[in-house]
């Protein structure tokens, strides 16, 4: 069945790829598809066979300026549009995403190397993001009533203005919708700069939004290189806030670049997330979750559980089970529905991930399984799903984000040591705990330094809940009303309720 489905998926993909090959992916500025002002382009490759998908417009300062001006102009009417009207438009976009979900998933899979089994869900999740924030749009401006003795205080919110959204290449479609949908629901207009290694689905998204009736200039997409187009966006005076998803190091650069114009920033950055398995846990369920949370999405996932902290008494047996499962992972063509692990996004990224195979050995860890580059039918930016054992928390393989299908196992004695190891990294995005002890789960929820903690569960999405990281993993939270806190200004209005005594100066 799999091979047949692969053929069928490749057949469906061909007309879509033809469009990307026919002419460069262009920017979308003020509702128009346009080339870069200086005509510059760059090439985009598929990590599956390294073939060229097509050329892409390389945005520069002038293109960003045009896009920001368009977003500034569109802001006036978009921000004042009735919330219910914005809601209806966002639902129309969600409908259109659902109608195009298969094409989006096929293209995303080809562009990024992510297995189709995950990308088909990612496109649907993108639509869910629009629906969720659509329903919040009518009440986005709501505030609080804060009465005092002789005054009535009430707060109202208003959209902050045009915002810049900068997204990475791992699940690029889903992540773009996760940022753009709340911005639009809040009443902001957007300039979106997608990652240069995965430009395709962003160009599909902006077209879908315009076709669904989004007024021109409300979302503008400028393709291009981070240090050029991204940098110009973070420095533009018309842009009031930057929502950024990407590496911690880039977040730091963006903070510097945005300092002169006092940008509000929201950062979703890297992680080195622990999954802590105690000896009292349901070990079968824990094993499923450990495997899923590092080897799905090629391990290119900010919330991946890349450190397995395993209690000493059960470590030998549990690690053996992990190893057996890793050996059975289906590496292959990402458009084959049976494939579980596809190629990494780019040769440069593969080099980075593979460099940790040498580092692990130099540091004295064991490579229990994997540890080499791989290929499918002789091609592709693959690495073998890998497990490092005999590691300790001071090693680079325990401290640095590898961002591939690579798991580092570290043993611990007791709860205290597990917490110390879990917290002993610069990152603090997510943590996963497997235990049968209710009290312990509450203690770990309190003591782990991570923005999101899942107990006896894998990464389970809940859109109203706060999503984001501590320490080097981020600033700010997304989800539900947390997103509106970022995309909106809160104003307080204070009205006297009586003729209270006003302090008098220079009266005599
Ligand atoms: P990256 O930081 O290299 O690039 C992200 C985006 O920033 C791209 O669009 C890039 O062009 C742009 N960029 C690069 N330099 C810039 C600059 N100087 N100014 C403005 N923009 C610039 O990240 P990546 O390699 O594309 O993505 C992988 C990283 O993203 C990982 O660290 C991963 O953990 C992180 N991530 C975090 C989350 C989260 O929710 N915390 C989610 C997904 C990915």
Q: Which CATH number covers residue 310?
A: 3.40.309.10
DSSP state of 274: E
Nearest to 321 by CA among 389, 405, 418, 391: 389
Phi and psi at residue 194, in whole multiples of 5°? -75, 170
Whether residue 183 sits in one domain with residue 142 = yes
Domain assignment of residue 425, yes or no = yes
Q: Consecutive 10-residue runs of the chain (508 residues): their mean pLDDT?
A: 82 97 97 98 97 98 98 98 98 98 98 97 95 98 96 98 98 98 98 98 98 98 98 98 98 98 98 98 98 98 98 98 98 97 98 98 98 96 98 98 98 98 98 98 98 96 97 98 98 97 92
Is the CB–ligand 1 distance for residue 209 below 6 Å? Answer: no
Is the CB–ligand 1 distance for residue 476 below 6 Å? Answer: no
Whether residue 141 sits in one domain with residue 38 = yes
Domain assignment of residue 227, yes or no = yes
Contacts of residues 257-265 at CB distance under 8 Å and 24 or more positions apart, as own/partner, are 257/231, 258/234, 260/235, 261/235, 261/236, 261/237, 263/234, 263/239, 264/160, 264/240, 264/486, 265/241, 265/475, 265/476
Is the CB–ligand 1 distance for residue 477 below 6 Å? Answer: no
Cβ partners under 8 Å of residue 442, min gap 6: none
Give the pLDDT score at 508: 80
Ligand 1 atom at shortest distance from the alpha carbon of 197 = 26
Judge if pTM exceeds 0.85.
yes
Q: Checking phi first, is residue 161 left (phi over 0); if not, alpha (psi -120 to 50) or beta?
A: left
Phi and psi at residue 310, in whole multiples of 5°? -125, 135
Output helix, strand, coil percentages for the chain, rounded to the nearest 5. Answer: 45, 20, 35
Whether residue 381 sits in one domain with residue 240 = no
Whether residue 393 sits in one domain with residue 287 = yes
Whether residue 278 sits in one domain with residue 424 = yes
Nearest to 158 by CA among 56, 240, 242: 240
Domain assignment of residue 135, yes or no = yes
Pocket of ligand 1, candidates 232, 246, 352, 471: which has the most ligand atoms within 8 Å of its Cβ, to mutate? 246
Give the pLDDT score at 1: 45
- Domain range for 403 is 274-455
> CATH code at 61?
3.40.605.10
Whether residue 285 sits in one domain with residue 226 = no
Whether residue 333 sits in one domain with residue 288 = yes
Pick the residue whose CA is nearest to atom 10 on ligand 1.
Answer: 226
* Other residues' Cβ atoms within 10 Å of the Cβ of residue 225: 17
Catalytically annotated residues: 268, 302
Angle at Cα 361 formed by Cα 297 and Cα 366, nearest 5°?
A: 70
Query: 């997510």: which residue's tokens?
Result: 430
Is the CB–ligand 1 distance for residue 230 below 6 Å? Answer: yes
Domain assignment of residue 165, yes or no = yes
Pick the residue whose CA is nearest to atom 28 on ligand 1.
Answer: 246
**Residues 321 and 369: beta-carbon distance below 8 Å:** no
Bridge partners, residue 467, by sequence: 478
Is the CB–ligand 1 distance for residue 55 below 6 Å? Answer: no
Ligand 1 atom at shortest distance from the alpha carbon of 474 = 41
Q: Ligand 1 centroid to 253 CA: how many Å?
A: 11
Domain assignment of residue 460, yes or no = no
Whether residue 221 sits in one domain with residue 288 = no
Whether residue 449 sits in one domain with residue 332 = yes
Whether residue 102 sits in one domain with residue 46 = yes
Q: How many domains does the chain have?
A: 2
Nearest to 473 by CA among 306, 273, 290: 273
Structure tokens at 461: 């999405």
Give the pLDDT score at 2: 59
């Amino acid at each position: 069945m799999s091979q047949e489905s692969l053929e069928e998926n490749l057949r469906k993909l061909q007309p879509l790829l033809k469009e990307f090959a026919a002419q460069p992916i262009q920017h979308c500025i003020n509702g128009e598809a346009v080339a870069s002002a200086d005509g510059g382009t760059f090439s985009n490759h598929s990590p599956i066979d390294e073939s060229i998908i097509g050329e892409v417009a390389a945005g520069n300062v002038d293109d960003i300026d045009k896009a920001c001006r368009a977003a500034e102009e569109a802001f006036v009417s978009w921000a004042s549009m009735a919330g219910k009207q914005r809601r209806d438009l966002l639902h129309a976009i969600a409908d259109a995403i659902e109608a195009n979900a298969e094409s989006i998933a096929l293209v995303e899979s080809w562009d990024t190397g992510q297995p189709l089994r995950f990308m088909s869900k990612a496109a649907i999740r993108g639509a869910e993001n629009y629906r969720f924030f659509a329903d919040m749009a009518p009440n986005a401006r709501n505030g609080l009533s804060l009465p005092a003795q002789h005054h009535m205080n009430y707060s109202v919110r208003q959209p902050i203005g045009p915002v810049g959204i900068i997204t990475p290449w791992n699940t690029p479609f889903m992540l773009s919708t996760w940022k753009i949908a709340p911005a639009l629901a809040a009443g902001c207009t957007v300039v979106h700069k997608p990652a240069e290694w995965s430009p395709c689905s962003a160009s599909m998204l902006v077209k879908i939004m315009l076709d669904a009736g989004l007024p021109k200039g409300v979302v503008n997409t400028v393709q291009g290189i981070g240090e050029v187009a991204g940098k110009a966006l973070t420095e533009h005076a018309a842009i009031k806030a930057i929502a950024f998803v990407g590496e911690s190091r880039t977040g730091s650069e963006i903070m510097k670049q945005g300092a002169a114009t006092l940008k509000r920033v929201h950062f979703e950055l890297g992680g080195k997330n622990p999954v802590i398995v105690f000896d009292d846990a349901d070990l079968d369920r824990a094993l499923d979750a450990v495997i899923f949370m590092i080897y799905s999405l090629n391990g290119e996932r900010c919330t991946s559980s890349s450190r397995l902290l395993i209690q000493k008494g059960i470590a030998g047996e549990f690690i053996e089970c992990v190893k057996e499962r890793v050996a059975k992972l289906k590496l292959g063509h990402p458009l084959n529905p049976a494939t579980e692990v596809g190629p990494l996004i780019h040769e440069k990224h593969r080099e980075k991930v593979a460099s940790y195979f040498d580092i692990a050995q130099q540091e004295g860890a064991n490579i229990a399984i994997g540890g080499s580059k791989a290929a499918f039918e002789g091609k592709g930016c693959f690495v073998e799903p890998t497990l490092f054992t005999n590691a300790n928390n001071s090693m680079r393989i325990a401290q640095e984000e590898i961002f591939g299908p690579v798991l580092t196992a570290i043993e611990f004695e007791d709860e205290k040591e597990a917490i110390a190891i879990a917290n002993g990294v610069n990152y603090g995005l997510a943590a996963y705990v497997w235990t049968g002890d209710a009290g312990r789960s509450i203690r770990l929820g309190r003591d782990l330094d991570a923005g999101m903690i899942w107990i006896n569960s894998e990464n389970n999405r809940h859109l109203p809940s706060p999503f984001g990281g501590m320490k080097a993993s981020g600033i700010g939270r997304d989800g539900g009303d947390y997103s509106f806190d970022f995309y909106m200004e809160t104003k307080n209005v204070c009205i006297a309720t009586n003729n209270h005594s006003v302090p008098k100066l220079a009266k005599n």
